[in-house]
Structure 1
Amino acid sequence: MGPLFLDLLGAELSAEERDMLQHPLVGGVILFSRNYQERAQLIELVRSIRAASKQYLLIAVDQEGGRVQRFRHQFSCIPAMGDIDAGARQLRMASVDLAEQLGWLMAVELRACDIDISFAPVLDINGCSDVIGTRAFSSNPEQIVSDAGGFISGMHHAGMKATGKHFPGHGNVKADTHHFEATDSRSFDEIKRYDLSVFRRLISQNKLDAVMPAHVIYSDVDDKPAGFSKRWLQQVLRKDLGFKGVIFSDDLSMQGAALAGDHVQRAEQALTAGCDYLLACNDRDASIRLLDGLPHTQVAHPDALRAKAYPMTWSELTALTQYRQIAARALEIQQISSELSEN
C-alpha cells in the first residue's frame, strides 16, 4: 500500500479515477459531500472503489459532526463536539457517556457503508480560531480529554480507529490554514502545558490510533509547519509522547502547506518529517503530478487503520433499539443547540 490518499470528482468513479486507484502509490480515498447523493449511491461508490483497486484501500471521510459532516441526508445528524456538554446537561447525562454514544453512532453508520475512517475527533482547544470553534469539545483541556476519550471509545466499539487532530493544537491560531499561512508565536512551554497536554494524555491512555498535524508554524519550536517538522513529529510526538500509531498529513493542497514548495516537494518533506500517509485533495492536476513524480514508497503498517469487521447492514442497524435511541438523542441535542443559539 502506498501513502497517497486521493479524492474523487463526483458521485461515481470515472475511467481516469479507476486507473489512478490502481497506482501503487495510492493507499486510500477521502470522500467529500460532492461524492454523496444518497446512502445507496454511497454504498455502490465504495464497492466500486474496492473493485477498482488491486489492493485494499482505506476509505475515509470527515464526519466529525456539526458543520463538518459530509454525509447528512439519510444519516444521523451528529452534533458539534462543542455542543455535547450543554446537551448532556439538558438530557441529565454525563457528557462523557453522551460523547461515547455519539462516537459509536457516527462510526457505526459509516461502517455499515464499508467506510474505514472518519478523521475524528478534533482535539484542539476552542480558543481564538474561527475554523475550529465548536468543532472542539471545549476550551478546557480536562473536558476535552474526558469527552474525546468517550467519543473515541464509542468509535472503537463500532470497529473504527480514531485520528486526533490537529497536532499539537490549532485552536489558538486565528488564520484558517485552508486559505492562509498561519503562525503560533506562543512559547513551547505554554503549548506543552495547554494544547499538547490533551494529546499526551490520550496517547498515554492508548486512545489514539492516528494523528494529523496542523499546517501551522509554531515559531518557538520550528520554522516549518508541524506536518513538515521532524522536531514536532519525530522528537515531540514519537519520542517525547511515545506515540506509536499512524501520522496523516493534512491536505497538501491547503495554503498553509504552500511554503513547502510544489505538491511533490510538499509530499517529500512530509514523508521525510515523519508522515505515513499524505492527503492530496481538491486539485486533480496536483494529484496526477504526485503519482508521476513522487518516488515509489510503501506504508510500513498498511493494515494498522483498517476497520474491524462490523457485519451489519443498514436494515439490521436500524432494527437495533440502541441505534434508534441514540439517533433520536443526537437529533434532540441538535434541537437544543439551535434553541440555545437563538436565545
Structure 2
Amino acid sequence: MANDHGLRRLALGTLLAAFPGERAPGWALDLLGEGLAGHTLFGYNIVSPAQVAALTAELRTARPDVLIAIDEEGGDVTRLGHRTGSPYPGNAALGVVDDPELTARVYAAIGSDLADSGINLDLAPTVDVNTADDNPIIGTRSFGASPRLVARHAAAAVTGLQSAGVAACAKHFPGHGATLADSHLELPTVDAPLELLRERDLPPFAAVVGAGVQSIMSAHIRVPSLTGDDPATFSPAALTGLLRGEYGFEGVVVTDALEMKGAALAAGGIAPAAVRALAAGADLLCIGAQVDLDLVTAVADEITDAVREGHLSLGRLEDAVSRTAKMATWSATPRAEGDHDASLGVDAARRAVRVEGSLVDLDRPLVVQIVAGHSIAEGRVPWGLGPHLNGTEQVEVVAAAASASSLVAKADGRPILVVGRHLHRSPASRSLIEALAAAHPVGVVEMGWPSSWRPAGSRAFVTTHGASLANGRAATEALGL
C-alpha cells in the first residue's frame, strides 16, 4: 500500500479541476505541483487569445504535462467564442453537408486554434446519434440521426482534431441521443435493449476507437439493459465490459462532470461519485465548473479513504493514473498544423443552409428574433442574424408576450423574417408565426435542430442547422441581407 502522500498524489492524478477568473489562483497551481492531472477552462476563464495563451503557459510552469481541457465543439457549444459565437458551424451542419473531408478540416482548424492557445484536451466531438427530435441537450451538437453518418463524421472529427496534437474526447458513451431529459438536471433513462444500442448508438464509438481517439467520455444516463439502476459512469458493465472488453478501447475513459445531477444525486455527492466512477473503470474525473480547493481536497480524500478501506483497489487507481499520464505525455506539446483559411467556417456553414419556398418577396424585412433559452452545455452565447444585418432592423420578442398585429404594424409594409431556435418545441412560437403568416408576408429561419413543422402560409423556411456566428452569416447571405 502506498503511503498517505503517495495515495493522495495518485488520487489527484485522476482529477480535472477548474477555477474562476482570468488567471490561475495559487491553490490551482499548487495542486498541479502536487499531482493534479489538470484543469478544465470555461467561458469565465476566457477573455482573448493572448490572455488564454498566457493562462495556459502559467499552468505549465506548475506542471509541464498538465492536461488543459475545454468544451470546444464548434457550433452552439463554444468556450473560445463564448462572447461572439463560434466561427465554425457545429456537427449538425457538418452532418447535413456530409463531406467527411470537410469535417476533418473544420476540426483540424479547431485543433489548431486550441493548440495556439495552449489547450491540449478537447472534450469533443459529440458523437451521439440524435434520434430524439426533442432531445434537450444534444440536438445540433450531433452529426445527425443516422448511425452510419454519425460514425463516419465522428472518425473524421477525431482525425482532424488530433492532427493538431490535441487529444479528442468522444462523447457521451454509450449514447445520449435518444434521451428526452438533460443529465445536467436529472438521470435520464434510455430503455432500449443492448441489441438496439449496438445498431443505433454504438457504431460511432466503434468508429472513433478505430480512428485512435485518445479519450471517450461516459454519459450520466441509465440504460437498464446494460447499466441496471446506475448511470453508465458508475457501470463496470458499460465501461469495462462493453467499452474496453468488446470495443477494445485502450485510451482514457473520462467522466462527464460529476457535479451534474445525473451523477451527483445518484451517488450521494460529488466525492462518492468519484469513487464509484473509478471503481467502474473511469480514469479521468471531470469535477465540474464550480470547483474550489475544498472540493478538490474532499474528492481526493474520498478516493484515498476508499483505497484504504478496500472499496477501491490500489491497482485500479494506479491504472487510471497511468492511462491519464500517457495521454498527458501524448498531448504535452499541441501544435498548429499549417495555416487554415479564415473563411473555412463560413464556407462550411453556407453549404449547410437549406431554403424551402421563395425568398423573392422577403427583401428588406423586419427581422423578429424570438428569445430562446439555452442548455447548460451551451451556456449564454450570442446567436442569430444580428451581427450580420448591416442596417436591417431587428427586434427581439418573447413569443408568449408578443402580438402578431403589433409586429405587423411595426413592419409598416415590410415583410417579416422570424428567427428562432427549436421553434417547433414552443407552442407560443408556433402560434405567433402562424398568426403572422396568415396576415402578412413571412419567412422563417430555424437555427436549432430541424423538425417537420412548417407554418402554414409562410413564404420561405430556412434551416441553418446551428446558431453559431458562422451559421448566422451564412443565413444572412442566403437571404440577401
Task: State the SS of the aligned residue for 1:30.
Answer: strand
Identify the match of residue 268 of structure 1 among 253, 275, 283: 275
Confirm or deny: 8 A CA contact 1:211 1:247 kept in the other structure.
Answer: yes
Confirm or deny: 8 A CA contact 1:185 1:220 kept in the other structure.
Answer: yes
Deviation of 1:278 (Å):
0.5
Q: Does 1:42 align with 2:42?
A: no
Q: Between Structure 1 and Structure 2, whose CA radius of gyration is higher? A: 2
Task: Name 2:173's counterpart in structure 1.
Answer: 167
For residue 49 of structure 1, what is the amino acid of its counterpart? L
Deviation of 1:137 (Å):
0.5
Confirm or deny: 8 A CA contact 1:137 1:147 kept in the other structure.
Answer: yes
The unaligned stretches of length 5 or more in structure 2 are 1-9, 308-316, 354-384, 386-444, 448-460, 463-481
Task: State the SS of the aligned residue for 1:216.
Answer: coil
Q: Does 1:208 align with 2:213?
A: yes
Task: Name 2:112's counterpart in structure 1.
Answer: 108
Task: Name 2:75's counterpart in structure 1.
Answer: 66
For residue 144 of structure 2, what is the amino acid of its counterpart? S
Bigger Cα displacement from structure 2, 60-69 vs 10-19: 10-19
CA distance in structure 2 between the partners assigned to 1:22 and 1:276 by the alignment: 20
**Cα gap change, 1:201 to 1:329, in 2 (>3 Å):** closer
Task: Name 1:290's counterpart in structure 2.
Answer: 299
CA distance in structure 1 between the partners assigned to 2:32 and 2:84 by the alignment: 28
Confirm or deny: 8 A CA contact 2:121 2:167 kept in the other structure.
Answer: yes
Deviation of 1:310 (Å):
4.8
Bigger Cα displacement from structure 2, 181-190 vs 130-139: 181-190
Task: State the SS of the aligned residue for 1:64.
Answer: coil
Alignment deviations for residues 151-190 of structure 1 (CA, whole Å, 9 cap, x no partner): 1221122222221110010000111001112111111111
For residue 243 of structure 1, what is the amino acid of its counterpart? F
CA distance in structure 2 between the partners assigned to 1:179 and 1:74 by the alignment: 26
Task: Name 1:243's counterpart in structure 2.
Answer: 249
Confirm or deny: 8 A CA contact 2:120 2:334 kept in the other structure.
Answer: no
For residue 303 of structure 1, what is the amino acid of its counterpart? K
For residue 99 of structure 2, what is the amino acid of its counterpart? S
Deviation of 1:146 (Å):
1.3
Task: Name 2:27's counterpart in structure 1.
Answer: 16
Identify the match of residue 199 of structure 1 among 198, 201, 205: 205
Confirm or deny: 8 A CA contact 2:56 2:119 kept in the other structure.
Answer: yes
Task: Name 2:381's counterpart in structure 1.
Answer: none
Confirm or deny: 8 A CA contact 1:102 1:330 kept in the other structure.
Answer: yes
Confirm or deny: 8 A CA contact 1:64 1:78 kept in the other structure.
Answer: no
Task: Name 1:280's counterpart in structure 2.
Answer: 287
**Cα gap change, 1:184 to 1:18, in 2 (>3 Å):** same
Confirm or deny: 8 A CA contact 1:23 1:291 kept in the other structure.
Answer: no
* Count of equivalent residues: 325
CA distance in structure 2 between the partners assigned to 1:268 and 1:85 by the alignment: 37
Bigger Cα displacement from structure 2, 180-189 vs 155-164: 155-164
Deviation of 1:52 (Å):
2.7
Q: Given the two structures, how large is their TM-score scaled by the length of structure 2?
A: 0.63
Q: Does 1:303 align with 2:309?
A: no
**Cα gap change, 1:113 to 1:75, in 2 (>3 Å):** farther
Cα RMSD of the aligned pairs, angstroms, is 2.2
For residue 153 of structure 1, what is the amino acid of its counterpart? T
For residue 105 of structure 1, what is the amino acid of its counterpart? A
Q: Percent identity?
A: 28
Confirm or deny: 8 A CA contact 1:77 1:334 kept in the other structure.
Answer: no
**Cα gap change, 1:154 to 1:311, in 2 (>3 Å):** closer
For residue 88 of structure 2, what is the amino acid of its counterpart? I
Task: State the SS of the aligned residue for 2:345.
Answer: helix
Deviation of 1:262 (Å):
2.0
Task: State the SS of the aligned residue for 2:255.
Answer: coil
Task: Name 1:91's counterpart in structure 2.
Answer: none
Alignment deviations for residues 252-273 of structure 1 (CA, whole Å, 9 cap, x no partner): 1000002112222111110010
Deviation of 1:75 (Å):
9.3
Task: State the SS of the aligned residue for 1:162.
Answer: strand
Task: State the SS of the aligned residue for 1:63.
Answer: coil
Q: Which runs of 4+ in 1 moved over 3 A?
A: 73-76, 308-312, 332-342
**Cα gap change, 1:262 to 1:61, in 2 (>3 Å):** same
CA distance in structure 2 between the partners assigned to 1:107 and 1:184 by the alignment: 32
